[in-house]
Amino acid sequence: MNVLDVPVVKYSEDGSLHLVEQVAVEEPLEIYIDNAPFYMTMRLPGEEVALALGLCFTDGLITSMDDVSGANYCSDISTNKINVFLSDSRKKRPVRDRPKQFTSYSSCGLCGADMIRDLTASIEKIEKTITVPFAELFPMQDIMVAKQAARRSTGATHAASIFDARGNFLSFSEDVGRHNGLDKAIGKLLFEGRLREAKIVHLSSRLSYEMVMKAARLRTEILTGVSAATSLAIQVADALGITLIGSLREPRGNIFTHAERIK
């Protein structure tokens, strides 16, 4: 269950009422790699395996399901711990330490220019293969909004939807964390072997550099967000060849980078 009924006292100009409010459930999820701690996040319960696989993919630990021999809950008692097992072929390649990498990107000692150079070097620039009329972005965004059941009940979740080059729906997920929502949606495609079909990603959140990086791992050509984009997100998207569109709310939107993909 990802929605919980809780008692609340609602105040207004007419006084107060004792009512029941629906809130989004937020619980921790521990992700282990071959029985070793890898990452911990707060998430909306559900689709834990997709979240773990998606995170491993967007973090660069795996590139396909060929790198995975299995993924399961660590016990029958709790769904708050997932163990991902790497395949024998993947174990032959170095497995980097994610927490140290994450700490270095979060520290005050690393400047934006250094980060952009590092990110550009680690991911090949995305070539232009699609062109989309601007007006056709909104029906895709509408599909995402229509699927946001938890947000309609609670107002507390973010969502991500993935589409192919023709605007056909591929994957959707929502979560209390915007990063988790995208990782879950990507994880579903990874499991289905359909990553190469993904070309357009719509988000219900702001566009930060982390979201651009996840989209870049997916080889996304167009990334949109309902909210604004940060300066670093724009710089990274420009360097990696992604068309970044912020504040996308019909009939408007701000195209920050590589506008040639939009008619």
What are the residue numbers of the active site?
108
Show the tokens assigned to 179. Answer: 């990063």
Show the tokens assigned to 32. Answer: 């282990």
Three state DSSP letters for the chain: CCEEEEEEEEEECCEEEEEEEEEECCEEEEEEECCEEEEEEEECCCCHHHHHHHHHHHCCCCCCHHHEEEEEECCCCCCCEEEEEECHHHHCCCCCCHHHHHHHHHCCCCCHHHHHHHHHHHCCCCCCCCCECHHHHHHHHHHHHHCCHHHHHHCCCEEEEEECCCCCEEEEEEECCHHHHHHHHHHHHHHHCCHHHCCEEEECCCECHHHHHHHHHCCCCEEEECCCECHHHHHHHHHHCCEEEEEEECCEEEECCCHHHEC
Show the tokens assigned to 112. Answer: 């934006």
**Residue bearing tokens 């990452």:** 39
